[in-house]
A and B are shown apart, each in its own frame.
Chain A
Amino acid sequence: MHEQDFFQNALVYLLAAVISVPIAKRLGFGSVLGYLIAGMIIGPFVLGYIGHEGEDVMHFAEFGVVMMLFLIGLELKPNLLWGMRKSIFGLGGLQLLVTALVIGAVSVVLGQSIGAGIAIGLTLGLSSTAIVLQTLAEKGLMKQASGKASFSVLLLQDIAVVPILALIPLLAGSAISAGDGSSLDVQYIAGIEITGWVQVALMLSVITLMVVVGLYLVKYFFRIIARTGLREVFTAAALLLVISAAALMELVGLSPALGAFLSGVVMANNEYRHELEADIEPFKGLLLGLFFISVGASMNFGLLGSSPGTILSLLAALIGIKFVVLFILGRVFGIRGGQNTMFAFSLAQGGEFAFVLVAFSVDNGVLTPDTSAILFLVVALSMAVTPLLLLLNDKVIMPLVFKSENTREEDTIDDEETPLIIAGFGRFGVILGRFLIANGMSATILDDNPENIDVLRKFGFKVYYGDATRADLLASAGADKAKVLIVTVDDRQKSLKIIDLAQRNYPHLKILVRAVSMKHSYELVDRKVDAFERDMLESSLLLGIEALTHLGYKRYHAHRLAHTFRLHTRKVLRELHKHHKDDEKLYLSETNRHAMELEEIFRAEKEDRSHGSDSSWDVSSRRKEAEEINPPAQEE
């Protein structure tokens, strides 16, 4: 019976998502609104397919936020994060303080106690990490001024959740029922009673532990996992990493999202970064979707129906206040024009932490259940409205702003993207890579041999572990921005798979390939790759020149002969490709095929005797002509 429940629930959730998200995207609303609407429709107030278990689902799905922050951390190297400190603490800190003050004051005017006012202000000062980052990423704004500022603010809010949670019990004294006020000093961690300072020390040591493990130990762990060659184990290990970071942080009283973010930052330089990204990404997407659906489902439309005026004006007030504060602060911190309205609109909603904090406040007697129901609904509505506001900003406000100002949009800057991706960094790739890197090219290098990576990393190459035949890995290596993809893997099948994948998804990429056999060369001709080279040809010819030289040829002569042969080989390849019939050879083993290829080549050589000659340097024709005019004197 339980199992039946599970399948039915899964069916409802997935069906709702699969139907509503594409429609929302088609209409230009973005996936977030699609999920939210799906949630509203299947929720208790419309179709009633899911009831209040939606809230349990929401708690579970919050894990999507954790994963998202881990992925964001992966993109942010520690030095980049350090460079953002001003906007995190300045812009982020001021945003929370000012917004909390204004909203708190309004609450008190509306009849709340001072304590409740502070709790409401701080709670509503937070924005929705999930909605904002998902939407910004979808719009490709993460690298722009508005995206970076939004991210700084959200990061500070994530950090601030911890002290807010500690503060709320203290507010109870001035609120309706007096709490004992001692809950800050005594907490229970893993069942052991712990006092405030010890807790701080614990937090610091856990963070230190995470940094040390992440920087120095995790790569050995992943190396061992990678050597097994089992992809699902690697995925499991990646999930384990994120979950353990989150769990550890929660254990010492920090936000799990913050923990995941920190571990992401620590791993940002790790060679397994792209693979981790590719593995976690789908989980994140699904869980976030689930989260948005459950937010949609939890909206209390009954309350909205009974007092629509109050709810809607509170909603307008919340968004209005947050927008104005964000807009002014954005100006102060130098965000220009359209970027600033984008920034202010994107953060003008309540966040998922509000649900936690409101519930916590009720438990501590700071807020009444009636107030909390209203807050809950207003926050959920504000989240649902955000994609609409951003759409409004895109379609109406941005064009107006751009008409009135002539400033250019900031270019998207990403110091991680490279123009070059090298897939396969074995013996062949290394030489090629060294040559290109020596000439100042930066490259993202993908290889799936842990031993190679180990050595190359030691010498400072930016090598990432991963199987380039996977679409998601190519994507996270930046294939959409890169110019050239070099495929040097020695496995014919893999090489073709990578090429097909790249040609399908990134038609702009120039593709250069190492050809490992005649058959492979034919297939590369068929695929019209931009260039390919037979892998052994050059070194064999060079050694052949040495051989001729040692057998008495002049070195330059041998060199010219080698070139003639090189041209001839290319010609033979083109000839053979024309007559090449794949199906005939399909059933031959590789060795048989090799023998047959040799036979083909030698036969073609016999037929083609057009080896060029350096006849201009050969004076015999001229001597002959000269002799015709002046016959040589008879010897006496």
Chain B
Amino acid sequence: MVPKNKIVILVFHPVLHKSRINRVLLNAVEGLEGVSIRYIYDLYPDYQIDIKAEQEVLLNHDIIVWQHPLYWYSSPSLLKEWIDLVLEHGFAYGKSGRALEGKSVLTAITSGGRRDAYGSDKGLKFSIRNLLAPFEQTVCLCRMRYLPPFVTHGTHLLKSDQIEKAAEDYVRIIEGLRDGTFSDDDLEKQEYINDIIP
């Protein structure tokens, strides 16, 4: 069966060998049909991104996942470099830049802080959705749809069964997006895409 949506997961993790969560998430989705994974730090260890190759990858997929840990309320620096260079004017945006129109982008992040710490009076001032605004805006300017993010919170204290649970959720989300099982309305309502799973 040909999957409805082809998904590419772009992993931006400079120290994946030390990762506790992201590695498990990736192991879980590795080998799923219609899902490919690209380790961007390993592809461009010297930050010399092959722009043409990356654009080619985007054209060949329907859903793009940016998977990374949250560093200083933002992404590791290579994702910023990737956005700066790959989403070229005239390709991704601008009057004639319509190459990515209609595709979707999912941010899949891990964060050390608990969910209730973000955007509360006593904890951190901004919510995750506020903090991800630049990414959301970038995606929108490229005429793509920004999906609610997949967030794994409290990573420092997660026990292995909780990590397994997160990985299971991730698989269900990725499979659901691939097969188009989530309704647009449902997606629209969620703060996090995690919440769509009952």
Which residues of B lie under 8 Å from residue A560 when comparing CB positions? 48
Contacting pair A616 B88 (CB below 8 A): yes
For residue A618, which residue of chain B has the nearest CB?
Answer: B89
Tell whether B95 is near chain A: CB-to-CB under 8 Å: yes
Interface residues of A in 531-581 (CB under 8 A from B): 560, 563, 567
Interface residues of B in 79-138 (CB under 8 A from A): 84-90, 94-95
Tell whether A617 is near chain B: CB-to-CB under 8 Å: yes
Which residues of A lie under 8 Å from residue B50 when comparing CB positions? 567
Contacting pair A616 B85 (CB below 8 A): yes
Contacting pair A563 B88 (CB below 8 A): no
Which residues of A lie under 8 Å from residue B52 when comparing CB positions? 612
In the complex where A615-B88, A621-B89 touch, is A563 in contact with B48 (Cβ < 8 A)?
yes
Which residues of B lie under 8 Å from residue A614 when comparing CB positions? 85
Tell whether A622 is near chain B: CB-to-CB under 8 Å: yes
Tell whether A625 is near chain B: CB-to-CB under 8 Å: yes
How close is B43's CB to chain A, nearest CB, in angstroms?
A: 13
How far, in whole Å, are A615 and B49 apart by their CA atoms in the complex?
Answer: 13
- Choose among A567, A612, A617, A621 the residue that contacts B94 (Cβ–Cβ < 8 A): A621
Interface residues of A in 608-627 (CB under 8 A from B): 612, 614-617, 621-622, 625
How far, in whole Å, are A621 and B84 apart by their CA atoms in the complex?
Answer: 15
Tell whether B56 is near chain A: CB-to-CB under 8 Å: no
- Choose among B46, B48, B84, B95 the residue that contacts A616 (Cβ–Cβ < 8 A): B84
Contacting pair B85 A617 (CB below 8 A): yes
Most chain A CB atoms below 10 A, which of B46, B48, B52, B95: B48
How close is A610's CB to chain B, nearest CB, in angstroms?
A: 9
Tell whether B51 is near chain A: CB-to-CB under 8 Å: yes
How close is A628's CB to chain B, nearest CB, in angstroms?
A: 8
How close is A256's CB to chain B, nearest CB, in angstroms?
A: 54
How close is A357's CB to chain B, nearest CB, in angstroms?
A: 62
In the complex where A563-B46, A622-B89 touch, is A617 in contact with B95 (Cβ < 8 A)?
no
* Total of A-B residue pairs, C-beta within 8 Å: 27
Q: Mark B44-60, 1 if CB is under 8 A from A, else 0.
A: 00101011100000000
Contacting pair A612 B95 (CB below 8 A): no
Q: Mark B34-48, 1 if CB is under 8 A from A, else 0.
A: 000000000000101
In the complex where A614-B85, A616-B84, A616-B85 touch, is A621 in contact with B90 (Cβ < 8 A)?
yes
How far, in whole Å, are A461 and B87 apart by their CA atoms in the complex?
Answer: 49
How far, in whole Å, are A622 and B97 apart by their CA atoms in the complex?
Answer: 11
How close is B83's CB to chain A, nearest CB, in angstroms?
A: 9
How close is B92's CB to chain A, nearest CB, in angstroms?
A: 9
Which residues of B lie under 8 Å from residue A567 when comparing CB positions? 48, 50
Contacting pair B94 A625 (CB below 8 A): yes
How far, in whole Å, are A187 and B87 apart by their CA atoms in the complex?
Answer: 94
In the complex where A563-B46, A563-B48 touch, is A616 in contact with B94 (Cβ < 8 A)?
no
How close is B128's CB to chain A, nearest CB, in angstroms?
A: 27
Which residues of A lie under 8 Å from residue B90 when comparing CB positions? 621
How far, in whole Å, are A336 and B159 apart by their CA atoms in the complex?
Answer: 41
For residue B83, which residue of chain A has the nearest CB?
Answer: A616
Which residues of A lie under 8 Å from residue B46 when comparing CB positions? 563
For residue B95, which residue of chain A has the nearest CB?
Answer: A625
How far, in whole Å, are A622 and B87 apart by their CA atoms in the complex?
Answer: 13
Interface residues of A in 588-636 (CB under 8 A from B): 612, 614-617, 621-622, 625
For residue A617, which residue of chain B has the nearest CB?
Answer: B84
Which residues of A lie under 8 Å from residue B85 when comparing CB positions? 614, 616-617
Which residues of B lie under 8 Å from residue A617 when comparing CB positions? 84-85
Which residues of A lie under 8 Å from residue B51 when comparing CB positions? 612, 616
How far, in whole Å, are A337 and B163 apart by their CA atoms in the complex?
Answer: 43
Contacting pair B94 A622 (CB below 8 A): yes
How close is B168's CB to chain A, nearest CB, in angstroms?
A: 34
How close is B173's CB to chain A, nearest CB, in angstroms?
A: 31
Interface residues of B in 159-175 (CB under 8 A from A): none
Which residues of A lie under 8 Å from residue B86 when comparing CB positions? 616
How far, in whole Å, are A612 and B85 apart by their CA atoms in the complex?
Answer: 12
How far, in whole Å, are A597 and B88 apart by their CA atoms in the complex?
Answer: 37
How far, in whole Å, are A560 and B84 apart by their CA atoms in the complex?
Answer: 15
How close is B57's CB to chain A, nearest CB, in angstroms?
A: 16
For residue B51, which residue of chain A has the nearest CB?
Answer: A612
How close is B53's CB to chain A, nearest CB, in angstroms?
A: 11
Most chain B CB atoms below 10 A, which of A612, A616, A621: A616
How close is B25's CB to chain A, nearest CB, in angstroms?
A: 28
How far, in whole Å, are A612 and B52 apart by their CA atoms in the complex?
Answer: 9
How close is B52's CB to chain A, nearest CB, in angstroms?
A: 8
For residue A566, which residue of chain B has the nearest CB?
Answer: B48
How close is B84's CB to chain A, nearest CB, in angstroms?
A: 6
How far, in whole Å, are A38 and B85 apart by their CA atoms in the complex?
Answer: 76
Which residues of A lie under 8 Å from residue B87 when comparing CB positions? 616
Which residues of B lie under 8 Å from residue A563 when comparing CB positions? 46, 48
How far, in whole Å, are A615 and B89 apart by their CA atoms in the complex?
Answer: 8
Q: Mark A487-500, 1 if CB is under 8 A from B, else 0.
A: 00000000000000
How close is A555's CB to chain B, nearest CB, in angstroms?
A: 15
How close is B111's CB to chain A, nearest CB, in angstroms?
A: 29
How far, in whole Å, are A563 and B49 apart by their CA atoms in the complex?
Answer: 10
How close is A524's CB to chain B, nearest CB, in angstroms?
A: 22
Which residues of A lie under 8 Å from residue B84 when comparing CB positions? 616-617
How far, in whole Å, are A448 and B73 apart by their CA atoms in the complex?
Answer: 56
How far, in whole Å, are A625 and B94 apart by their CA atoms in the complex?
Answer: 8
Interface pairs A-B: 4 shortest CB-CB: A563-B48, A616-B85, A616-B88, A621-B89
* Known interface pairs A563-B46, A616-B85; 8 further A-B residue pairs with C-beta atoms within 8 A, sorted by A's residue number: A567-B48, A615-B88, A615-B89, A616-B51, A616-B84, A621-B94, A622-B89, A622-B94
CB<8 Å pairs between A and B, sample of 10: A560-B48, A563-B46, A563-B48, A567-B50, A612-B51, A612-B52, A616-B88, A616-B89, A617-B85, A625-B89
